[in-house]
Structure 1
Amino acid sequence: MVRQELMRIIKDRRKELMEKNETEHTDLLSKMLLVTNENGQFYSEMQIANNLTGLLVASFDTTSSAVTAVMNYIAELPDIYKEVLEEQMEIAKSKGPDELLTWADIEKMKYSWNVARESLRLMPPAQGAFRETATEFTYAGFTIPKGWKTFWTVHSSHKNPEYFPEPEKFDPSRFEGIGPPPYTFVPFGGGPRMCPGKEYARLEVLVFMHNVVRRFKLEKVIPNEKIVIHASPTPVHGLPVRLHPHEK
């Protein structure tokens, strides 16, 4: 059903582009319709629909979980919220009333992104992934042969005090400077097959933070709400939050 609706939208957009002879667009669908592969061929409507389906599905559960994690901590920690607010208000002051954020604005959100990353360290949306061992190795007294399919867990490194001192403490400064050692902070995986949606997720989370924090003060309705792990970390009561508008 989703793919059928996407196919309809793609056909309509292709027709519109052809009728208007347009070649310059910033939206993703238009770019997919106009781009060619290494042989100069356009992508089929089904290929585009499949890519859009992957984008929609992959960016929904994990990103909503990431946003929930950020909301959980900035509502719980007033000092963290205050610094995020100050950074976002500085950016807002440089914009017109209805002016949209630019990539340059996103790049300025360094502290906010550190807060988001620390939230992802403590509440990662994905719990791990499978990898095939490239060589035999020994770990904790167990020998893992070459070619085995292994499952690595995010928490095994995110909560490792060797890489993250006081691992249960919320500390965005961990990501200042060069940040954690490679392959220790892995909410998006790592290496050449890491999540291709990392920058898209970063954009979604930071735009969300910008639009919520600069308008509202947040208050958790249920302090110390229990978080359970299903596929992703899930607050048992849905993380109800009161939004208090800032005084003008």
Structure 2
Amino acid sequence: MASVFVLYSLILAITIFLITLTLIRFQTSKSSEKEARKKLPPGKIGWPIIGETLEYISYPQKFIQERMSKHSKEIFKTSVAGGKMAVLCGPLGNKFLFSNETNKLVTPWWPSSVSKHLIFPSCKSSSLSSSSSSSSSLDNDHSFLKLEAMQQYVHPLSKEFTFALACRLFINYENPDQVKELAKPFFDVAKGIMSAPLNIPGTPFNGAVKGGAAIKEKLLNIIKHRKEELHGDHNKEVHDLLSRLLVKSDENGKFLGEKEIANKIIGYLLASFYTTSTTITFVLSHLADHPYVYDKVFEEQLEIAKSKKVGELLNWGDIQKMKYTWNVVCESMRMAPPAQAAFKEVTTELTYAGFTIPKGWKVSWSVHSTYKDPKYFSNPEKFDPSRFEGNGPPPYTFVPFGGGPRMCVGKEYARVEILAFVHNVVTRFRLKKANPHEKIVYTPEPIPTEGLRMCLQPLEI
């Protein structure tokens, strides 16, 4: 009897799947007939639902460059993370997207793993973009972001460091156990951001869905508890972002709701560790690979260290002196981009490079359309920090923080965090990789398969 029930359930599940697939194809064919009358970008959409997501996340650089070569160096179509998408290529494509949010042709877009399952709906500021260009004084107040041997696994440790620092600054979380409890679901969400939208147990998307639910519940509890603390002590000093959002009203005297605040905190926490930890990982990797670069960084950092009194911390003036080190960071971000692209949704049908992009389509710019192009970066596979001396690369060719009105407002925060980390490492240790031939995989951000095990030789200065 049980086997008959299992067989019946299996047949029913397969039938439902086939009916769903047929309906999707029918809807797709209807929309394709309408779109066929327009000159759409060249390319292909791929499979129903998953599109070309799996190909994209497995090797984003190859994905972009192959399609540019096959279809067009200016624009091509695809389907990634559940939406038809036009990818605009080259510096002109970057400039077009950076400059067209102000006239409302496009608006920020997140994959459904984030937009549906991580943020709270029906909020005035439901976007996770920490660089929102809203006119609200609350949305524009980003002043808190401008901050004036043995073996270790660099990649997981850098993630823990950057997330713990963000927790301390944004929500005043310092207890290691509390940070770990909040970190795990954030890491699960990060893994599933660009995954195929298949909510099946064991998939990255399913992990992101569960992680998003856990984060929302945890943050609401934190916000309610902090609210009670501030209500009971009106003279309590306000230092972290969460407290600022709770006590500060906008120009009309209105305060943000708890879910609106949670959305903002989620956006900042996600953005603050996701790409910065990857950058730190590969900066150290490149320093280990290129001893002559390490020597120049060490010389610059040693001069700063010797100018400090015993126990004196780095300040904004010290960060400004780290010019060569920042060039190394930029070259590392070019060679191993921590963020592969950014996505937007078309709000009004538009034309680009002679092709029509319908309303509702997603559009994207990608670092891989310029970073390895010898037209903009000679001998692009060579690690060469001198590229960023003087005026640096041509405009819109190197865009690790985006551009236009939605350029990442956390740029200076990330800069301070990365440079302070590098300063404390190179003035204390000489670096050597435990496995110089360690492979890199993409998810789609680059990840060392062994966590980047590093031998650290202590220095005396």
Same structural fold, with TM-score higher than 0.5 when normalized by the shorter chain: yes
1:136 aligns with 2:347: no
Query: Residues 134 and 221 (structure 1 numbering): CA distance in 2 closer, same or farther, change over 3 Å?
Result: farther
Find the counterpart in structure 1 of residue 320 from structure 2: 107
Task: Select between 173-182 and 118-127 the one with higher mean Cα deviation.
Answer: 173-182
Question: Based on CA coordinates, which of the two structures has the bigger radius of gyration?
Answer: 2
Structure 2 distance, partners of 1:96, 1:10, is 39
Instruction: Give % identity.
Output: 55
Find the counterpart in structure 1 of residue 269 from structure 2: 56
Mapped contact 2:337–2:400 kept (Cα < 8 A): yes
Uncovered stretches (5+) of structure 2, i.e. residues with no partner: 1-213
Structure 1 distance, partners of 2:241, 2:308, is 25
1:38 aligns with 2:251: yes
Give the deviation of 1:209 after TM superposition.
Answer: 0.7
Mapped contact 2:428–2:460 kept (Cα < 8 A): no
Give the deviation of 1:188 after TM superposition.
Answer: 2.2
Find the counterpart in structure 1 of residue 443 from structure 2: 230
Task: Select between 29-38 and 113-122 the one with higher mean Cα deviation.
Answer: 29-38
Query: Residues 129 and 50 (structure 1 numbering): CA distance in 2 closer, same or farther, change over 3 Å?
Result: closer
Supply the AA of the counterpart residue of 1:145.
T
Structure 2 distance, partners of 1:43, 1:144, is 42
Mapped contact 1:125–1:233 kept (Cα < 8 A): yes
1:163 aligns with 2:376: yes
Supply the AA of the counterpart residue of 2:370.
S
Give the deviation of 1:151 after TM superposition.
Answer: 3.2
Of residues 215, 230, 233, the one that matches 2:428 is: 215
Find the counterpart in structure 2 of residue 2 from structure 1: 215
What pairs with 1:60-139 in structure 2 (closer than 5 Å)? 60-131=273-344, 132=346, 136-138=351-353
Find the counterpart in structure 2 of residue 203 from structure 1: 416
Secondary structure of 1:244's counterpart equals: strand
CA RMSD of aligned residues (A): 2.5
Structure 2 distance, partners of 1:27, 1:103, is 19
Structure 2 distance, partners of 1:4, 1:100, is 37
Give the deviation of 1:20 after TM superposition.
Answer: 4.8
Supply the AA of the counterpart residue of 1:236.
T
Task: Select between 90-99 and 153-162 the one with higher mean Cα deviation.
Answer: 90-99
Higher relative contact order (CA 8 A, sep 6+): 2
1:154-206 superposed Cα distances (whole Å, 9 cap, x missing partner) = 12201111111111111111111221111100222222223333222222211
Supply the AA of the counterpart residue of 2:445.
S
Secondary structure of 2:394's counterpart equals: coil
Uncovered stretches (5+) of structure 1, i.e. residues with no partner: none
Of residues 377, 390, 400, the one that matches 1:177 is: 390
